């Protein structure tokens, strides 16, 4: 025991740096709080709720979730890898602008795409109305059209919205390969299809697998699409079990199953990347020279790359824009202006808090230097993979308990404190912090890795404190990365739906919840103006992403 204490002290930072390490650990504890709450609730005594769920609704929730994740992952994987291969390896009409246009579906949240598809194809929509007018049909019994609010429609909408994740990572991987690999394959007689299947796919498999894993996690976390299309998944099960069934323990157990799915998927993806690596020599690396296509092949390539853009952006965007212009009066609705102001406040505060605490966490762990502490970095990023409904449930219960403690204390002091956290937008801001902490943390870590260690050391030798070195050396050098992270977290906060639905106070709307509420009442026209504002906000992030990925 006498030897273990000096050994432990050797791995700890100097006492003057302990406040920074403790601050970093406190931030990590805050970020991990909802996941810990879910685990505590799920493993506690639920009064037989788990056995009831396992025998009744849980198999249906789990089955639908797995089917959706598999189908969307497969469809988005095919679309993303094929379009990445075409725009990188070939030249055809529109290839240059399609290279960035394939990112545009990221600007439209999947739930808005679902509302647009329903407005287009349902019974009173323009497609069925035109068919009845052309063929003289009188009612739905005179013809057949697939049910719009169904699982297959959810697969199509989610695939169209999420395929850019696979496309972006696959294209980046292809651009990092040496042209010599493809030149050798061509000289050995491999045709276009053989080069794609035997050379291209194995080279980009780790990147494509990472993109497909992201798509599948986003599918499992979705609430807006599956709720609107009446597909019962684990996410909708959390809402119904808690809000309708009144069982927080049962909802936590479903949330734990959802979280376990995410962890298994993330672990499988990481393992596949470790086992499938490809290396390109930095010296003499020449990007593949695009081959010009002619005739029918060229226009076929244009069509293949145009389809995801039309399905994921142009079609839903045009429908929402048309509805927004038709319902011009909705733009002047005071509730829309209030929702826009609330969105600006919550998403803005969430972005500032997330990036600021991310910087402090990364900086504090770097100063602390403890290996065990630095192992917290990947753990605190789990919130990004967890569904928003899981985080909402995990945050609401401890915040409600803390609110009651504050109210009791205020009552003793003769003050009416009210519900300080759950009765205000503070809970929503904290949800954004946990949900998008990985974005700020990743940007801070990558930016600080690019700073030569000699610069902060020189500042410290000139008498700067750790806080002074952070302010005068680190922040000026990483302000570009900080700005990018702020924008990305803000945009994701604007689009976030399930966590906001669970945590918003009474009579508090954001643009996302305003869209959801109006669409739930079948008022797609009234949902169009806030949806248009969400799309325009998302476009700013896509434009930034297109500029940085050139």
What's the 3-state SS for 173-231? Answer: HHHCCCHHHHHHHHHCCCCHHHHHHHHHHHHHHHHHHHHHHHHHHHHHHCCHHHHHCCC
Is the distance from CB of 425 to CB of 345 less than 8 angstroms? yes
Helix or strand holding residue 494 (H, E): helix 475-495
Structure tokens that stand for 411 in this block: 């009552």
User: Quick check: 248 pLDDT over 60?
Assistant: yes
Residues 6+ apart with CB under 8 A from 439: 354, 384, 485, 488, 489, 492
Q: What is the pLDDT of residue 1?
A: 44
* Between 123 and 227, the higher pLDDT residue: 227
Is the distance from CB of 234 to CB of 497 less than 8 angstroms? no
**Mean pLDDT lowest among 149-158, 195-204, 249-258, 304-313:** 195-204
Q: Quick one: DSSP state of residue 292?
A: E
Q: What is the pLDDT of residue 7?
A: 45
Q: At what angle do helices 334-368 and 511-520 cross, to 10 degrees?
A: 130
User: Quick check: 363 pLDDT over 90?
Assistant: no
Structure tokens that stand for 538 in this block: 């998302």
Q: What is the pLDDT of residue 450?
A: 74
User: Quick check: 8 pLDDT over 50?
Assistant: no
Query: Dihedrals φ, ψ of 418, to 5°?
Result: 70, -165
Which position has the token pair 């970093």? Answer: 24
Q: For residue range 489-533, list pLDDT tens digits in order.
A: 898 899 999 989 888 988 899 999 999 999 988 888 889 999 999
The CA distance from 439 to 441, in Å, is 5
**Average of per-residue pLDDT across 409-436:** 82
CATH 1.10.357.10 holds for 327-550: no
Q: Which of 109-118, 280-289, 380-389 has the highest mean pLDDT?
A: 109-118
**Average of per-residue pLDDT across 59-68:** 94
Which position has the token pair 């069982």? Answer: 247
Label residue 550 by pLDDT band (50, 70, 90): low
The CA distance from 409 to 422, in Å, is 16
**Average of per-residue pLDDT across 207-235:** 90
The CATH fold of domain 49-322: MetI-like fold (1.10.3720)
C-alpha neighbours within 13 Å on the C-beta side of residue 156:
19
Three-state DSSP class for residue 90: strand
User: Quick check: 3 pLDDT over 50?
Assistant: no
Q: What is the pLDDT of residue 135?
A: 86
Label residue 181 by pLDDT band (50, 70, 90): low
Q: Centre a 10 Å sphere on the Cβ of residue 185 and count the other Cβ atoms it contains.
A: 16
The CA distance from 187 to 157, in Å, is 41
Q: What is the pLDDT of residue 85?
A: 86
The CA distance from 254 to 390, in Å, is 9
* Between 310 and 148, the higher pLDDT residue: 310
Q: Which of 320, 339, 329, 347 is nearest to 514 (CA)?
A: 339
Q: What is the DSSP string of 443-482?
A: HHHHHHHTS-THHHHHHHHTT--HHHHIIIIIHHHHHHHH
Looking at the chain, the domain(s) classified CATH 1.10.3720.10 span 49-322, 327-550
The CA distance from 424 to 504, in Å, is 7
CA distances from 550 to 37, 104, 171, 211, 259 (A): 42, 15, 10, 18, 35
Which position has the token pair 């505060």? Answer: 349
Is the distance from CB of 76 to CB of 163 less than 8 angstroms? yes
The CA distance from 500 to 425, in Å, is 9
């Amino acid at each position: 025991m006498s030897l273990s204490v000096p050994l432990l002290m050797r791995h700890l930072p100097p006492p003057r740096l302990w406040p920074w390490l403790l601050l970093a650990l406190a931030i990590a504890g805050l970020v991990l709080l909802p996941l810990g709450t879910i685990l505590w609730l799920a493993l506690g005594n639920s009064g037989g709720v788990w056995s009831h769920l396992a025998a009744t609704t849980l198999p249906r929730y789990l089955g639908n979730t797995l089917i959706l994740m598999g189908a969307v992952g497969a469809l988005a994987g095919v679309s993303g890898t094929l379009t990445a291969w075409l725009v990188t390896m070939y030249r055809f009409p529109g290839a240059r602008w399609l290279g960035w246009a394939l990112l545009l579906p990221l600007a439209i949240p999947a739930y808005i795409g679902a509302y647009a598809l329903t407005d287009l194809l349902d019974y009173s929509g323009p497609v069925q109305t035109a068919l009845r007018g052309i063929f003289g049909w009188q009612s739905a019994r005179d013809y057949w059209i697939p049910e719009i609010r169904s699982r297959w429609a959810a697969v199509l909408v989610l695939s169209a919205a999420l395929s850019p994740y696979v496309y972006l990572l696959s294209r980046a991987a292809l651009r990092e390969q040496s042209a010599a690999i493809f030149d050798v394959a061509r000289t050995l007689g491999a045709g276009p299809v053989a080069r794609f299947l035997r050379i291209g796919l194995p080279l980009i498999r780790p990147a494509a697998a990472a993109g497909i894993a992201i798509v599948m996690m986003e599918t499992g976390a979705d609430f807006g699409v599956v709720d609107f299309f009446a597909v019962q998944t684990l996410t909708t099960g959390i809402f119904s079990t808690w809000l309708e069934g009144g069982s927080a323990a049962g909802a936590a157990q479903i949330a734990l199953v959802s979280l376990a799915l995410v962890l298994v998927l993330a672990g499988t993806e990481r393992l596949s990347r470790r086992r499938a690596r490809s290396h390109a020599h930095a010296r003499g690396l020449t990007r593949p020279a695009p081959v010009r296509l002619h005739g029918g092949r060229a226009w076929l390539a244009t069509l293949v790359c145009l389809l995801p853009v039309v399905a994921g952006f142009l079609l839903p965007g045009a429908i929402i824009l048309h509805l927004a212009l038709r319902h011009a009066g909705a733009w002047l609705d005071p509730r829309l202006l209030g929702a826009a102001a609330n969105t600006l406040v919550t998403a803005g505060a969430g972005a500032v808090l997330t990036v600021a605490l991310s910087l402090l966490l990364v900086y504090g762990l770097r100063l602390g230097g403890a290996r065990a502490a630095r192992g917290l970095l990947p753990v605190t990023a789990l919130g990004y993979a967890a569904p928003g409904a899981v985080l909402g449930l995990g945050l609401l219960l401890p915040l409600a308990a803390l609110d009651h403690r504050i109210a009791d204390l205020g009552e003793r002091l003769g003050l009416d404190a009210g519900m300080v956290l759950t009765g205000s937008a503070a809970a929503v801001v904290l949800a954004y912090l946990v949900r998008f902490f990985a974005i700020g943390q990743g940007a801070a870590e990558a930016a600080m890795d690019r700073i030569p260690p000699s610069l902060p050391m020189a500042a410290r030798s000139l008498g700067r404190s750790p806080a002074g070195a952070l302010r005068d050396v680190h922040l000026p050098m990483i302000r570009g990365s900080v700005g990018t992270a702020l924008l990305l977290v803000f945009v994701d906060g604007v689009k976030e739906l399930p966590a906001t639905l669970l945590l918003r106070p009474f009579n508090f709307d954001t643009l996302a919840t305003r869209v959801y509420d109006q669409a739930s009442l079948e008022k797609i026209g009234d949902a169009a103006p806030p949806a248009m504002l969400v799309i325009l906000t998302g476009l700013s992030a896509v434009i930034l992403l297109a500029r940085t990925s050139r």
